[in-house]
Amino acid sequence: MVAAPLHEAYREKVPMEIKDYFVKMKSDLTKQGIPILDFIDQPLENSAFKDFDHLNFDGARVFTKKLSDMKNPADNLRQGQ
Report the share of the chain in percent with pLDDT over 90: 67
Determine which helix (DSSP H) or strand (DSSP E) holds 70, and give its type and residue range: none
**Cβ contact 5:40 at 8 Å:** yes
User: How many independent structural domains does the chain possess?
Assistant: 1
Q: Model pTM? A: 0.74
Residue 79 has pLDDT above 70, yes or no: no
Per-residue pLDDT band for 67 (boundaries 50, 70, 90) equals confident
3-class SS at 50? Answer: strand
Query: In whole angstroms, what is the distance from residue 50 CA to residue 32 CA?
Result: 33
Query: In whole angstroms, what is the distance from residue 10 CA to residue 14 CA?
Result: 7
Residue type, 20: D
Can you give the residue range of the structural domain that contains 35?
Answer: 2-78
Residue 17 has pLDDT above 70, yes or no: yes
